[in-house]
């Protein structure tokens, strides 16, 4: 029984050894990078996107039929759903697919809570 316990502790130590040794190689970010890197993932069904220009900046606006989102804004990660033709306004630059009726894209902007 004692041999089994020693073997179990040794195996557990071997399993935990790689995370312990990998943690030593963590580097800090250079000071030149921004502290806040906000992003938003959207996927779902939408109405046809329209390109608008507001104060010289290009945006994409569309109504969400049923869209799941995951956003990172000021260090908080939120997720949820847009539905019932809610209007969404995001920057024109995106990574992924923004089609006529579907969206599977990442935007480099956080979705901020709407305050009426």
At 59-107, the pLDDT tens digits run 999 999 999 999 888 778 888 898 889 898 888 888 888 888 899 999 8
Contact 51, 92 (CB under 8 A): yes
- Chain-centroid distance of CA 100 in Å reads 23
| Prediction pTM value | 0.61
The total of other beta-carbon atoms located within 10 Å of residue 33's CB is 7
Q: Which residue is associated with the tokens 């250079």?
A: 30
Torsion angle, CA of 4/10/16/22, rounded to 10 degrees?
Answer: -160
Q: Which of 25, 23, 66 is nearest to 42 (CA)?
A: 66
Contact 86, 111 (CB under 8 A): no
């Amino acid at each position: 029984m004692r041999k089994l316990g020693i073997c179990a502790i040794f195996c557990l130590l071997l399993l935990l050894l790689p995370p312990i040794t990998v943690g030593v190689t963590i580097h800090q970010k250079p000071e030149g990078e921004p502290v806040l890197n906000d992003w938003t993932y959207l996927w779902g069904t939408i109405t046809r996107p329209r390109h608008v220009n507001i104060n010289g900046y290009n945006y994409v606006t569309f109504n969400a039929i049923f869209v799941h989102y995951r956003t990172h804004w000021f260090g908080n990660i939120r997720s949820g759903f847009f539905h019932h033709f809610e209007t969404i306004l995001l920057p024109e630059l995106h990574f992924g697919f923004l089609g006529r009726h579907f969206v599977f894209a990442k935007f480099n902007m956080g979705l901020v809570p709407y305050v009426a």
